Structure 1
């Protein structure tokens, strides 16, 4: 039986398989790219494992239904942009096996798929897909939109917002509040960005006012967590302290101080009668009232402080004698008389002491002289007895 000879189609198929086997080692190396909006994005594309000639390099951008060529490179003419988008692209490859490009000053709409195509002779075109992700740094803000009032129950004491970030930011709080609660919400925008909002809730008390809390925001575009400090703003009604201080010459300053938030305004009255003044606005702002030292200064004075959350008042009673200067002179005279009397008594006592000392001295001398005479007499008598005995 005669053996059948292979047909032409068989040899063609065999040759094609051999050719495909020779080019299967050729590949295009790429890598997906993440970039922060506003920065430059480097899209890498390299052809490997072939010595065939590259005749053309084409870059495409994927849209919803098709690909748009935006840049082409040919060895004779170099890189050429094909549309407005291509004008933002810089070709930085060598035009042979390297087709890297830089997309400058990226914007959010640059995100998407890109195609890098090598046209190789004689083996044909080779391509790869690259995904570009554009990240957006959120705008961070901490505030107290509506300051809560003491006694109002659980309220939002601070709000932290990381607006229009991509991807969504993560928000946490660091505080020294005894009790607190946190509520987080996220809102996705049409352009793909997300706003994250975190509310710090607590029961407001007076001691919280001006207390510092910290909002901590984490996001892939931030090298380190963003920490924003915020001082709490708590509203409360006034409490009053009233005092007086003498301001020479001949005046007295009444001072009314209120601890209040928002700041209080002040008014002064005397025994339920408003005090006339030419500087009313200054009194309302500072709480200070200056009085002249006149005979009618005495009486009961009232200070009232007020803010939208309450009213507080304080009193001070003034009684200044009109003859207090005379009393001062009289007291000074009495003190001087007492001092003079003490000096006189001191000298009298000293003189008497000296006289007493002189009398005692004379008496001592007389006693001493008598003693000496007796001794001498006894000596003479003893001498006579000695002579007689001899």
Structure 2
């Protein structure tokens, strides 16, 4: 009869709208279990009770509210749950402010009415917990055998899935704990120095996450140093100033211990070492030649190298200076000769123009004199033709007599 009554009035539950309701929540967050009964005309809700079904089939009371006597919390739920509304008989939704995984189960909202009796609706609650993950890297050394380079672990509900994001050649192996509450993944490889500093990230997958959670990690592979010595550029000679040798070393971790030797022993006087640099604090001497050694160490191994220093008696720059001076002399002489040629050309051009102008003046003067001479001669001829010709005078006299 009770079940029939429940089914008959199930539609009076306006929240949730369906009789079979499943909810999902995350641990450490607030969970709301809806329950609102709409009484019929002349019907009144007098009491609301929430209960949780136990594995053996019994029900454990959580909280109850009477329309006149107030509400009561029971047992381990005291202080952990509360009604959403100050009027629980009208809005009977239950709140769990900080949900725990143990809160997962089936909850029943029991409504007591007058005069129609009791009615129930159930909600199945699933509680997820977001994964808690960690990554444990392993410091490797070059030359070791195939072994684990990093381990990634995660716990969550449901169980997370782990994968690796890397370009390193290796293999991963996943394991689940006996209780099924945690998962781990081991990534193994054969360590080489070229792998040092390469990406080896762990990805944690879970349905409660929008995407994979990345745990960033860089592989660490330690290897011994390789030492090399470089010298100041150019030939080294007796009397050279500010000379230095530099010991460069690879390796990881970077070597901090650098030792210099000369001919297998102590350094010459006036020569000092500061880390990877060897300074000659004075001009080079003939006896500074010989084998200089550099030894570098890190926690993995040792690197050694030698450099044979040979000195010349004179600076190679002296010959260069003579050649440079000779070149400057040649350039200067060529420039001087070019200037002299230009001066001579200018003088010759000037002399040519003066000679030409003088010749033109003489020709002009001769022409002027010639013109003047011809003019005078013409004048004399006209004069003589008028006043000195006897034939003219005789004709004039004869004409007079005849008259």
What's the TM-score, normalizing by structure 1? 0.71
Distance 2:267 2:93 in 1: 84
Aligned to 1:239: 226
Aligned length: 350
CA RMSD of aligned residues (A): 4.4
Distance 1:201 1:170 in 2: 18
Choose the corresponding residue for 1:45, options 23, 29, 35: 35
1:287 and 2:270 correspond: no
1:35 and 2:35 correspond: no
Post-superposition offset of 1:60: 2.1
Distance 2:346 2:33 in 1: 122
Choose the corresponding residue for 2:9, options 11, 26, 33: 26
| 1:157-199 Cα distance to aligned partner (Å, 9 max, x none) | 33322x331221111222223x32111112255xx7x222112
Post-superposition offset of 1:111: 3.2
Aligned to 2:292: 301
Distance 2:137 2:185 in 1: 12
Change (3 A) 1:86 1:62: farther
| 1:203-245 Cα distance to aligned partner (Å, 9 max, x none) | 2222211112332211122122212332211122222232134
Choose the corresponding residue for 1:74, options 66, 70, 75: 66
| Structure of larger gyration radius | 2
1:319 and 2:306 correspond: no
Change (3 A) 1:79 1:337: same
Distance 1:172 1:23 in 2: 49
Is the partner of 2:221 in helix, strand or coil?
Answer: coil
Q: Which residues of 2 match residues 1-390 of structure 1 at below 5 A?
A: 24-27=7-10, 29=19, 31-47=21-37, 52-63=43-54, 66-83=58-75, 85-93=77-85, 95-96=88-89, 98-147=91-140, 149-161=141-153, 163-177=154-168, 179-187=169-177, 194-245=181-232, 250-264=241-255, 265-275=257-267, 286-293=275-282, 294-295=284-285, 296-321=287-312, 323-324=314-315, 328=317, 332=321, 335-336=324-325, 339-340=328-329, 343-344=332-333, 347=336
1:26·1:49 contact (CA, 8 Å) conserved in 2?
A: no
Distance 1:300 1:141 in 2: 53
Distance 2:4 2:302 in 1: 94
Aligned to 2:401: none
Distance 2:150 2:251 in 1: 20
Post-superposition offset of 1:304: 1.6
Is the partner of 2:21 in helix, strand or coil?
Answer: coil
Aligned to 1:5: none
Structure 1 residue runs without a partner (length 5+): 1-15, 367-390
2:258·2:296 contact (CA, 8 Å) conserved in 1?
A: yes
Post-superposition offset of 1:354: 8.0
What's the TM-score, normalizing by structure 2? 0.69
Q: Which runs of 4+ in 1 moved over 6 A?
A: 19-23, 352-359
Distance 2:6 2:277 in 1: 95
Post-superposition offset of 1:301: 0.8
Is the partner of 1:273 in helix, strand or coil?
Answer: coil
